[in-house]
Chain A
Amino acid sequence: MAGLAATFGSGAMTNSISEFDEADLFFVIGSNTTAQHPLIGSRIIKACQRGAKLILVDPRQIQLASFATMHLRHNIGTDVALINGMMNVIISEGLYDKEFVEKRTEDFEGLESVVKKYTPRVVERISGIDANQIEEAARMYAGTKKAMILYAMGITQHATGTDNVKSCANLAMLTGHVGRPSTGVNPLRGQNNVQGACDMGALPNVFSGYQKVTDTNVRKKFEDAWGVDKLDDKVGMTVTDMIKAAQKGELKALYIMGENPMMSDPDSSHVELALSNLDFLVVQDIFLSETAKMADVVLPAVSFAEKDGTYTNTERRVQLSKKAINPLGSARADWEIICEVSRLAGYPMNYACPSEIMHEINMLTPSYGGITYARLEDSWGIQWPCPDKAHPGTGYLHKDKFAKGLGTFMPCEFKPLAEVPDDEYDFLLTTGRIYYHYHTGTMTRRISTLEREAPWSFIEINPADANRIGIRQNDLVEVTSRRGSIKARAEVTPRVPPRVVFSTFHFHEASINLLTNPVYDPVAKIPEYKGCAVKIRRCA
């Protein structure tokens, strides 16, 4: 999200889900939408059937590929080059929106000078996409007024993730495809409340509403409201920094609420070492996850069905979810547990119910100022920014000006993957989710039907590669990277291109993150899950 915040001033999906129905073109890059956001993917399929165009950029032959006007199966990790190539065509053929660029953006010259080098011929060599196709995609996107860019983790989970996002933003600004309905740059958020966790300031650098911890006035506001003094004025550690600090013995205690980094973080063996190096680990969860098993204290929380609360979906819509049953056993809601721990640590937190917490959020968070329980109970949610109780919410961002004023072009140079295949590790492993499971599988793998649909881990491998190595459908294979090794069944399928294998991180029995490369985007600190070098062999 750092990329969008830098270019536009706000790191959220610019437009709304309902606007998909009116769009004439979708540029989908790094999102297996029908699997990860099925009810958005289905809208894209329906739109294609009514004649909307779809430019799909994905190395895998995903379900959307059957509906794509163009499917660009680029080499993994060459997104920046590909988008630069498209912008090169758009500028050299004069297809960009000169008025928009002039009035609404800054630093166009900088972009021009960088993308100049990325001619379709040059990009063809990097990305593996035919130069003519790059030109055609560029013309198609630039020439369609209602064109939406969509991306997901395929863009962000790279060491160059921020650059990838900036490139998408550059492309939208160059063509003026932002600030109108059915346009924009639309990151699809993976988890049900990633957007909300960010909005609420569960980040090392900001309080709720992206108010910076380094800003004295902001800190003063929170100090006054919270009745404390001397709030920390330095940016804290990200999750990846914390793991490293724990390894070095600098971080002594970690309190984890509802996450499972043992499964979700790259290079799991190192995560395990880091967590076991802590003096004190608290895990608050609904199941005894792989991470909870390592804890000193495990606090049983309740599921979404047992509490009231709001969640913010990918289109910034804050929605109320109501308590349907009483807590199981003696489990308690996360917010109740936090209040108790705080009280016992010497800071009383007195909230009778979540709506009282929301009231405090309203007071301290400008973008959530008007999002009250009274309004949520009587509506289908409210999309932020919503500064006051009379404000209807915001369907699309950056209407007349960008959140930061002028949009800033931030040109990026192509950088190859941190780890590329060589003679020994001769395949590229890319990871993602499948349709039937969610995240580390703690919930979906406890649903019999979903578990039956997808009971085991698998490694997708191209038939040409499988033939060469002697791997048949469903054979047990061993996949090894420089960091670890797992065994899983082979799925021989042309869905993956030659020399690429795909797997998922849902299965603790074959935890793919034992293999992945812990190199991070320097800004967003997102690991490169989408590409690392592995070797593969059939188990005897």
Chain B
Amino acid sequence: MSKTLSICPFCGCGCNFYLVTKDQRVIGVEPSPKNPINKGMLCVKGWNAYEFINSPQRLDHPLIRKGDSLVPATWEEALKYVADRLNAIKSKYGPHSLGFLSSAKATNEENYLFMKMARAVFKTNNVDHCARL
């Protein structure tokens, strides 16, 4: 069993808790006692924030659409397909035919890179996220 300091993903409060892990499973949470936001306390979502992480429904490999269904693919295939299709659409219709929706649930670093990808790689400012929703 070990404990790793983390931030609750379930609202903008940003409560600090330790993720309790055993054999690569997150088995519980423990609020951080001294941090200035939640001071050792949590709400119902925070106390229960561990189960979905190891959900059997988690996606564990890439999927590519073949007709009506999504079929498993390798990372190499999937990533190349994404890059090639985006490049092709950009060449044919211009950068403004592409849109990028970033995530209010992803990290700062990921949001930064995502907007960098939209702007530096695909040359469009069509990048937004769901803050409004």
Contact = CB atoms under 8 A, between A and B. Distances in A.
Given A257-B114, A304-B9, A313-B12, A295 B65 contact: yes
B128 A236 contact: yes
Contacts, number: 429
Contacts of A1: 131
A268 B64 CA distance: 24
A255 B101 contact: yes
A162 to B, nearest CB: 11
- Residue among B19, B75, B120 having the largest count of chain A Cβ atoms under 10 Å: B120
Contacts of B128: 202-204, 236-239, 242
Interface string A412-437: 00000000000000000000000111
Given A39-B13, A192-B14, A335 B109 contact: yes
B7 A300 contact: no
A208 B127 CA distance: 12
A501 interface: no
A329 interface: yes
A339 B113 contact: yes
Nearest to A266: B133
Nearest to B4: A324
A240 interface: yes
A524 interface: yes
B62 A298 contact: yes
Interface in B105-132: 105-117, 119-132
B110 A192 contact: no
Contacts of B112: 200-201, 208, 357, 360-361
A304 to B, nearest CB: 5
A332 interface: yes
Contact of A340 (B57, B79, B85, B132): B79
A322 B5 contact: yes
Contact of A361 (B63, B106, B108): B108
Given A300-B59, A324-B19, A337-B79, A199 B108 contact: yes
B110 A257 contact: yes
Contact of A190 (B12, B43, B120, B129): B12
Nearest to A238: B128
Given A200-B115, A255-B99, A297 B127 contact: no
B129 A323 contact: no
Contact of A253 (B25, B97, B114): B97
A279 interface: yes
B108 A259 contact: no
A37 B12 CA distance: 7
Given A255-B101, A257-B102, A357 B12 contact: no
Interface string B34-71: 11111001111110110111110111111111000010
Given A298-B59, A317-B14, A239 B48 contact: no
Interface string A1-41: 10000000000000001100000000000000000111110
A197 interface: yes
A334 B110 CA distance: 6
Nearest to A41: B43
A311 B107 contact: yes
Interface string B70-103: 1001010011111111110100110111111111
A232 B119 contact: yes
A191 B106 contact: no
B60 A328 contact: yes
Contacts of B12: 37, 188-192, 194-195, 313-314
Interface string B1-23: 00011111111111110010100
A257 B126 contact: no
Contacts of A156: 132
A318 B38 CA distance: 15
Interface of B: 4-16, 19, 21, 24-26, 34-38, 41-46, 48-49, 51-55, 57-65, 70, 73, 75, 78-87, 89, 92-93, 95-117, 119-133
30 contacts: A39-B13, A188-B12, A192-B12, A196-B108, A196-B111, A197-B111, A197-B131, A201-B112, A202-B103, A203-B129, A213-B119, A231-B119, A236-B96, A237-B126, A250-B97, A255-B100, A257-B100, A288-B57, A297-B62, A299-B82, A311-B108, A317-B14, A321-B5, A335-B107, A339-B113, A341-B83, A444-B45, A446-B51, A448-B51, A450-B45
Given A191-B104, A297-B63, A338-B117, 12 more contacts: A39-B38, A204-B128, A236-B126, A255-B86, A288-B59, A304-B7, A304-B9, A311-B7, A318-B108, A322-B4, A341-B83, A342-B113
**8 closest residue pairs by CB, A with B:** A329-B60, A313-B14, A309-B107, A236-B125, A258-B103, A38-B43, A189-B12, A344-B83
